[in-house]
Amino acid sequence: MSLSIKKGDMVEIRSGKHRGKTGKILKVLCEENSVLIEKLNLVKRHSRPTKSLPQGGIVEKEGSIHYSNVLLLCPKCKRGVRTTSKILGDGSKVRVCRKCKELIDKG
């Protein structure tokens, strides 16, 4: 799978109950074709007691969202957009907003 989304990217969710929300990619789960987004799609999980949580209990963790449900956030359009990739003069590959042609990867 070649994903145009990677860890640290800002994305917008485009479907489901979190539609329209934006967040930062915590992790890309390649095998599941899905991503974890910081503080979004939280699901409750029971956890075993640990040092910081001696009684164990319920913790909230990010649940995965299929990558087809998220779009990379364009800093200029301020919304999720489809991207294309472009090879720069130095050989590096960058993602470009299809709408405004802004480079999404900088530096």
Q: Which of 77, 2, 7, 72 is nearest to 36 (CA)?
A: 7
Question: Is 86 one of the binding residues for Zn ion (CB under 5 A)?
Answer: no
Q: Provide, rounded to whole angstroms, the least separation between the CB of residue 79 and Zn ion.
A: 8
User: 61 CB contacts (<8 Å, ≥6 apart)?
Assistant: 42, 43, 45
Question: Is 99 one of the binding residues for Zn ion (CB under 5 A)?
Answer: yes
Q: Provide, rounded to whole angstroms, the least separation between the CB of residue 81 and Zn ion.
A: 5
Contacting Zn ion within 48-77 (CB under 5 A): 74, 76-77
Q: Provide, rounded to whole angstroms, the least separation between the CB of residue 85 and Zn ion.
A: 14
Say what the alpha-carbon torsion angle 76, 77, 78, 84 is, to the nearest 10 degrees. -90
Residue with smaller CB distance to Zn ion, 43 or 100:
100
Give residue 18's identity as a one-letter amino acid code.
H
